[in-house]
Amino acid sequence: MATYDGLFNALGLRDWCDAGGGGGGPMSMADLMARASGNTAAQEVSWWDLPLPSLNNLHAACGAIWQTRDLTLGLERAFLSARDALRIVLDPATQPLSWMLRQMIWLMVATPWFIMLPVLLAVTWAVARSWRVVGLVAVSLGFLAFVDHYTEAMQTLAIIFVCAFICVLIGVPVGIAMSRSNTLRRIGTPVLDMLQTLPAFVYLIPLIFLFSVTEPKLYGIAIILYAIVPVIRLTDLGIRLVDPDVIEAADAFGMTRGQKLWRVQIPLALPNIMAGVNQTIMMSLAMVVIASLVSAPGLGVLVLRGIRNLELGVGLVAGFGIVLLAIILDRVTKASLARIDVSRDGR
Amino acid sequence: MDAPVKIRIRNLYKIFGSRPAAVLPQVLEGLSKPDLLARHNHVLGLRDINVDIREGQITVIMGLSGSGKSTLIRHLNRLIEPTAGEVLVDGDNILTWNDRRLRDLRRKTMSMVFQKFALLPHRTVLDNAGMALFTQGVPRKGYEADARKWLDRVGLGGYGAHFPHQLSGGMQQRVGIARALTSNAGIMLMDEAFSALDPLIRTDMQNLLLELQAELHKTIVFITHDLDEALKLADHLVILKDGQVIQQGEPQHILLNPADPYIEAFIADINRARVLRVRSIMRQPIGDGAVDGEIEADATLEQVIAASQGDLSRHYRVIEDGRPVGMLDMPSLVRALVPR
């Protein structure tokens, strides 16, 4: 029959294999083809064609062994059976996110443009203290408004503001905790690596099962999971990079742990933390387009329309709009970073 | 004459490694530092240290790098925990203290000056000087006057609003000293405080320290690897080698009676004429005979040679506070210039 029959016979597992009831699952296309061509009988296989000892090939020899599709099916079933329990916990816990996203989008879109734009410019000035940056923001937003992408741009900005805010709110304390405990860091680092390398679409799959597609938190969580990594990493790094001599001096003058954290470590790590915030904002912007697949409003929707309907111009203009937003967000955060660096360190 | 003991270090051991307590008994039985490293992969930091640090004096702990001097000073405020032994401050063993009492000790009783200054780069010079008081919860208004006073005293009046990185190394260390003085602690720990400065500035700072000490009478523990600096500052000199005290006492006494070939080699390069003082080599009893003049007991031999204009036949009467305390003839002075 199959190549690996001999192996199971030699191991004395034949009874166990047959008891497993081979071919319990639905028949695969390949099986059907083989049956149709009448080639079910064993063929002499040369050593050159030795099949990989994979689940499917082993299953052919021993019915008790799972096929790969049983594995994926099992995963799916396990997830679905855990879904209700997860929902009970996660749904209320993440409800504020839905609420915040909805309110923020409503606020930024419903506020008339002649109020909203000056407010944004004032915020830019407050953060960056540079007329050049304010000018850049004014020109960019003016252009987007002029080509009638104002509403979409505001929606995208609203999503990014909320998600970046939550990333900082969660990420900075997690980063601080990781900087204080090597154990936590050993556990956290592979998780962060995974979050960063997992293809962005993969986040969406389990989230779609967990939450209703109409809920803003669906894309909110996806964006946060993807974008939170740099702020955690750089907070951790920033605090670990604080000069150990300065920490020793703080100890020698009798500072408590809290005083050390708030008066020494966080202020000295602030440039690194701000660099993390900048990266987090950039990554949430990157995720916004993908999030449009699950109903996130904004410029991403137009990009998707461009892809789906092959409307080249629509896609390109919306894409350019995202680039513009990325540039102004980057310049504003970089300018504020430079401001912190100059007033505190001078390096 | 002897001031009361402020800090007493008793049978202090420090072993670095994964399980110091387990190898301690063998060290107590005399296992050597290289054997400890080879057999148990532990490093012997300090072995059986016994030092009395007297109130109002400058105790200098000297040794080359790796001798354990920085480790030792960090035991005094428990930045490093010992493996065995006692550290008594005013007769109280601080190793039994809890965190709160220890913090209080660091805030009010002991201040520290660091080799690399270790100022807070994001705070102004004034805030740095007031760090000890600020740490105790005193608002800026409360510490500003004190911090300004000490910044003026170390020669940094008017620099209060600057940031540390705007100052030179010597000025930063002045801030470090002002910070220690503002805390108003009776004990100052100085860990190679002047080693990172250039020679001229270092001399300035040594003079500043002696000036301040003449006025304030703090209990100072000073770490250095520089014998000239040690001899200049020390009231009591402790010489460390490989984590052990090999000789301690009055610096002049050590210079004239080295206990160990290691110390002899160490002091061979010293300009003895500038370091030795008349008091250490004068002779008693006080004769009444004719003398060529009177000299102060605290004068260095260099000063005496200058005063004698090189004439080896001269005799002097040594006086202190206007009273004769001994005699000195030039041949014995010349003999003292040559190491044994």
- Do A22 and A89 belong together in one domain? no
Joined tokens for residue B265: 């080699």
Residues A30 and A95 in one domain: no
Instruction: Output A304 or B311, whichever has higher pLDDT.
Output: A304
Looking at the structure, tell me whether residues A188 and A277 fall in a common domain.
yes
- Which residue range forms the structural domain that includes residue A52? 5-66
Assess if residue A116 is contained within a domain: yes
CA-nearest residue of chain A to B111? A253
- Over residues B184-214, the pLDDT tens digits come to 899 999 999 999 888 889 999 999 999 999 9
**Which chain B residues in 30-69 lie under 8 Å from chain A, judged by CB atoms?**
none
pLDDT of residue A295: 84
Pick the last residue of a domain from A66, A98, A119.
Answer: A66
Specify whether A224 is located in the same domain as A313: yes
Q: Do both A20 and A91 map to the same domain?
A: no
| Predicted pLDDT at A278 | 92
Residue A189 belongs to domain with CATH number: 1.10.3720.10
Q: What is the pLDDT of residue B212?
A: 92
Burial B66-93 (b: 16+ CB within 10 A, else e): ebbbbbbbbbbbbbbebbbbebbbeeee
Residue B275's pLDDT is 83
Which residue has 């005399």 as its token pair? B30
Residue B121 near residue A246 (C-beta atoms within 8 A): yes
In a domain, A265, yes or no: yes
Domains of chain B: residue spans and CATH: 55-81+102-269 (3.40.50.300), 274-336 (3.10.580.10)
CB pairs under 8 A between A and B: 65
In a domain, A97, yes or no: yes
Q: CB distance B166–A346 less than 8 Å?
A: yes
B297-324 mean pLDDT:
84
**Residue A117 and residue A47 share a domain:** no
- Among residues A40, A66, A92, the one where a domain terminates is A66
pLDDT in tens, A18-66: 776 545 556 667 667 766 766 544 556 677 888 888 888 888 888 788 8
Contact A296, A159 (CB under 8 A): yes
pLDDT band of residue B318 (cuts 50, 70, 90) is confident
Nearest to B120 among A246, A252, A346 (CB): A246
B173 interfaces chain A, CB cutoff of 8 Å = no
Least CB-CB distance to A268: which of B106, B114, B122?
A: B122
Contact A194, A137 (CB under 8 A): no
In this structure, are residues B132 and B119 in contact, taking their beta carbons and an 8 Å threshold?
A: no
Q: Confirm or reject contact between A266 and chain B (CB < 8 A).
A: no
Report residue B315's pLDDT band, with 50, 70 and 90 as the boundaries. Answer: confident
A73 occurs within a structural domain:
no
Q: Do A345 and B103 touch (CB under 8 A)?
A: no
Contact A243 B118 (CB under 8 A): yes
CB contact under 8 A, A252 and B112: yes
The predicted structure's pLDDT at residue A215: 84
Query: Does A11 share its domain with A102?
Result: no
Q: For B119, which residue in chain A has the nearest alpha carbon?
A: A246
Q: How far is A271 from chain B (nearest CA, A)?
A: 12
Residue of B nearest to A344 (CA): B122
Percent of chain B with pLDDT over 90: 41
Q: Is the pLDDT of residue B109 over 50?
A: yes
Q: Tell me how close the Cα of B77 comes to any Cα of chain A, in angstroms.
A: 7
For B16-33, what is each residue's pLDDT tens digit? 988 988 889 888 888 888
Residue type, B127: D
Region A296-309: mean pLDDT is 91
Of A314, A283, A300, A323, residue with least CA distance to A156 = A300
- ipTM for the predicted complex: 0.85
Q: What's the number of domains chain A is made of? A: 2
Mean pLDDT for chain B overall: 89
pLDDT at A293: 86
Q: Please report whether residue A43 resides in a domain.
A: yes
Residue of A nearest to B118 (CA): A246
- Per-residue pLDDT for A248 more than 90? yes
Name the more confident of A42 and B333. B333
Residue A259 falls within a domain, yes or no?
Answer: yes
Residue A28: what pLDDT?
Answer: 66
| CB spacing of A256 vs B103 below 8 angstroms | yes
Q: Are residues A148 and A214 in the same domain?
A: yes
The Cα–Cα gap between A14 and A22 comes to: 12
CB contact under 8 A, B114 and A347: no
- pLDDT tens for each residue of A161-211: 999 999 999 999 999 999 999 999 999 999 999 988 888 788 788 888 888
* B99 min Cα distance to partner chain A (Å): 9
Do A38 and A99 fall into the same domain? no
Q: Are residues A192 and A95 in the same domain?
A: yes
Position B280 pLDDT exceeds 90 = no
pLDDT band at A346 (very low <50, low <70, confident <90, very high): very low
Q: What is the CB neighbour count within 10 angstroms for residue A25?
A: 12
> Do residue B163 and residue A346 have CB atoms under 8 angstroms apart?
yes
Residue A342: pLDDT over 80 = no
Confidence of residue B177 (pLDDT cuts 50, 70, 90): very high
pLDDT at A343: 55
End position of a domain, from candidates A24, A42, A66: A66
pLDDT, tens digit, for every residue of B49-83? 999 999 999 999 998 888 889 999 999 999 999 99
| Mean pLDDT of all residues in B122-132 | 91
Do A244 and A316 lie in one domain? The reply is yes
Fill in the DSSP letter of residue B116.
T
**Based on the domain organization, do A34 and A124 belong to the same domain?**
no
Give B11's pLDDT tier (boundaries 50, 70, 90). Answer: very high
Does the pLDDT at position A347 exceed 50?
no
